[in-house]
Amino acid sequence: MLYAAQSGGGAGSLTPILMIALLFGVMYFMMIRPQQKRRREAEAMQSALGPGDEVVTIGGLYGTVVGVEDDTVLLEVAPGVQSRYARPAIARVVTRAERPEADEPVTEDAEVVKE
């Protein structure tokens, strides 16, 4: 009777390992992967900041980007009042400034006179 209870456990020992692997797979696709996507989107937004963009900081302060350096952004929060913030402190861009695309050449309205 003791041998009959022990002999049927061949497939049962694989089930807990499969359940743990399934749990890690679900956690990856439900938690880790979406968080990585949000982080990439935030980094892309922060690297695309330029003068004239209206932004909101993580503290809720609205401002207009005046200058951009390597890892800091200079915001004008009121006329004549400027504050320096770290790039990761920018939560979102409210409105983007109109800038020419990198592929398009900047054209002038003045005529070019050739002599």
pLDDT tens track, the chain, 115 positions: 555 555 555 556 889 999 999 999 999 999 999 999 999 999 999 889 999 999 999 999 999 999 999 899 999 999 999 999 999 999 999 988 776 665 555 454 444 444 4
pTM of the model: 0.61
Q: Where are the domains of the chain?
A: 9-95
Of 67, 42, 41, 64, give the one whose Cα is nearest residue 53: 64
Of 83, 41, 47, 40, give the one whose Cα is nearest residue 62: 83
Task: Identify the pLDDT of residue 98.
Answer: 75
Name the CATH architecture for the domain at 9-95.
Answer: Roll (2.30)
